[in-house]
Amino acid sequence: MNARILNAEIGVALTSFGALFMLLGVMLFFDGALLALGNVLFLAGLTLIIGPHKTFYFFARKQKLRGTACFIGGILLVFLKWPFIGFVVELFGFLNLFGDFFPVVLTFMRQLPGIGHFLSLPYIRDVSRFF
């Protein structure tokens, strides 16, 4: 198997586990250890998926600097035992960094059998137009 494909598969797994740990950290009243582990896994997975150079250039682009500062600052606040404030700051940075991908994800989800029907319901369709 190609090493690049293997890295991407491991990266998807790490990113998924990172999102899972962050979700668990929020559900367990902002558990700092789970949030920190989720952050580390998410960043490691993202780096394996797109590569270290592209990851650096993604976060270092001029139009993404505010989002990058908030995202990294939120991670640092979580590491410094301020999980709630850190998560809020990190969420703001995440929305600034990855907000451009939401319409693509929403379009993909509309094509899925079960979720597509749910997203086409009248009130949900009206709300999802904003994304």
At residue 36, the pLDDT reads: 96
At residue 1, the pLDDT reads: 65
**Which residues of the chain register pLDDT less than 50?**
none
pTM, two decimals, is: 0.83
Q: DSSP letters of 83-112?
A: HHHHHHHHHHHHHHHHGGGHHHHHHHHHTS
At residue 114, the pLDDT reads: 84
DSSP state of 120: T
What pLDDT digit, counting tens, does each position of 11-33 carry? 999 999 999 999 999 999 999 99
At residue 131, the pLDDT reads: 66
Distance CA 32, CA 22 (A): 9
